[in-house]
């Protein structure tokens, strides 16, 4: 049950992040509230994942996924800081942030077996 909540939280956050990226290219600007919801969902998912890691049996897939989610969080924080300065985030930074999150999500799915 806890794993389903983790997967649903991260999948929704990834969907909102992709939607925000698409809207930024379609309309020429990102939606700040959508980015905030994306970040808060990811933070809550990482909290529940950390709870699962500390509570349950050892799962190296989950540990690796949490590590990569933290790296993606740092990249997202840098993108947010650039956005707060009034500039568009650098595309390689956004792609690295998104790619790290996707790899972490795949590791998370691998840990479900």
CA 91 and chain centroid, separation: 17
More confident residue, 111 or 113: 111
Residue 30: pLDDT above 80?
A: no
Write the burial class of residue 55 (CB in 10 Å: 0-12 exposed, 13-18 middle, 19+ buried).
Answer: exposed
pLDDT digits (tens, 9 = 90+) for 72-88: 999 999 999 998 898 88
Q: What is the pLDDT of residue 28?
A: 78
Q: Per-domain residue ranges for the chain?
A: 2-110
User: pTM for this one?
Assistant: 0.90
């Amino acid at each position: 049950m806890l794993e389903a909540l983790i997967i649903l939280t991260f999948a929704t956050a990834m969907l909102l992040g992709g939607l925000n990226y698409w809207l930024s290219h379609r309309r020429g600007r990102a939606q700040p509230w959508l980015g905030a919801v994306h970040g808060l969902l990811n933070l809550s998912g990482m909290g529940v994942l950390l709870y699962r890691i500390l509570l349950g049996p050892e799962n190296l897939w989950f540990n690796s996924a949490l590590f990569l989610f933290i790296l993606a969080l740092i990249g997202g924080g840098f993108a947010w800081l650039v956005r707060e300065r009034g500039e568009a985030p650098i595309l390689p930074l956004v792609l690295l942030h998104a790619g790290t999150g996707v790899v972490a999500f795949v590791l998370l799915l691998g840990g479900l077996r």
